[in-house]
Amino acid sequence: MQLFQMEKETHIYQHYIPECYLKNFTLDDKGLLVYRKGNNGKVFPQSISNVAGIKRLYDVDDKFLQEEFKGQNKFIETEVFASTFEPILNDLLHKISELCENWDKKNIYNNVLNEVEKDYFAELIAVQYIRHPNFIYKFWNLHKDTYTKRYDIITSFLRIINPNLKKATNEKLEFDEKASSALHSNFILDNEWRYIIQGQLSSKIWIFYYTKDNVLSSDNPILLKPHIKVETSFIEGFGKKGVEIIFPISKNLILTIWDDEYFSNKKDLHNSIQFLNSKQLREYNLYQYCFSNYEVYSAINDFDIINKFVELNNGVDYFSSKPKINVH
């Protein structure tokens, strides 16, 4: 009797923050320290392979795939991310980190990336933003809210013209939650979304800030900080006037991207490496905590700024509201 062995499933735990990025916040490319919100301030070591991921996050169920693509459920994870975008991201992060190490010694680098590299990096930032669970959380809820409100409007109208329908039970729309990954894959594969954000990023002022001290990252590292209180937001906020985009690159480096019109005084610093002072570092590290979903990452046990903030907040961790698009 011939025995058939079932092929073992791989790529079950899927990172929304890639390991090639997370290793830049380690001392050995393998492990980092994690501050988890709601864990009474406890810090624990963890392998980068076991953080910032969700089981089968990008898997698309066969029922949402065309016939010729059935069985390729992990295409987004294996072909789009692991084989296409992440190797390029790894190379660019490695180059920038090496430049900073040399810059610290020689203080000569004013052109960190050439135009091609900057365009690539802008696209990779766009990909990282779109692949994040917060992105699909927002648009999946928008999808459900839109169809629910449309259903309610149609139902209300039908009950007005046909009073007999009022006696019918109030049925609610049901949604297959597995469809969220199919919707997410559409966004990930949509070049237009990616290129619009890329274009916004590429046109702005890029400043790399270096410090010998410790930079924190998180499970939601790309932050958009508005510098104008009342300003219309478009292109997911990347096109907002007065916006500053903050993206920690390593345990010693933060990339900041500035609106070129509102911050025209920074144009001379474009594509350069600058020193980050201690006040700026505390501010940027605190942003990573405040806007993280659940976890903050560090190469060393250096969460003092978080502990002080929590103490001032009556010992309670701060959770920011997840992004949402309202349907009216």
pLDDT of residue 101: 74
Cα 178 from chain centroid (whole Å): 21
Instruction: Decide if pLDDT at 35 tops 90.
Output: yes
What's the whole-number mean pLDDT along residues 14-27? 96
Instruction: Decide if pLDDT at 319 tops 90.
Output: yes
Confidence of residue 1 (pLDDT cuts 50, 70, 90): very low
pLDDT of residue 185: 93
Q: What residue has token string 């090639």?
A: 20
pLDDT above 70 coverage of the chain, percent: 92
* More reliable by pLDDT, 326 or 80: 80
169-199 confidence digits (pLDDT tens): 567 788 999 999 999 999 999 999 899 999 9
How far apart CA 185 and CA 58 sit, in angstroms, is 7
Instruction: Decide if pLDDT at 5 tops 60.
Output: no
For residue 274, how many other CB atoms are within 10 A of its CB? 14
CA of 218: how far to CAs of 2, 31, 152, 298, in Å? Answer: 50, 14, 39, 8
pLDDT of residue 165: 67
50-107 confidence digits (pLDDT tens): 999 999 999 999 898 888 888 889 999 999 999 999 999 999 999 888 887 776 656 6
What's the whole-number mean pLDDT along residues 228-239? 76
Least confident of 67-81, 153-167, 243-257: 153-167
* More reliable by pLDDT, 313 or 169: 313
* More reliable by pLDDT, 253 or 236: 253
Q: What is the pTM of this model?
A: 0.90
Instruction: Decide if pLDDT at 4 tops 60.
Output: no
pLDDT above 90 coverage of the chain, percent: 69
How far apart CA 133 and CA 131 sit, in angstroms, is 7
pLDDT of residue 282: 97
Contacts of 324 (CB under 8 A, 6+ apart): 138, 141, 142
Least confident of 1-10, 190-199, 303-312: 1-10
288-304 confidence digits (pLDDT tens): 999 999 999 999 999 99
How far apart CA 126 and CA 35 sit, in angstroms, is 26
Confidence of residue 147 (pLDDT cuts 50, 70, 90): confident
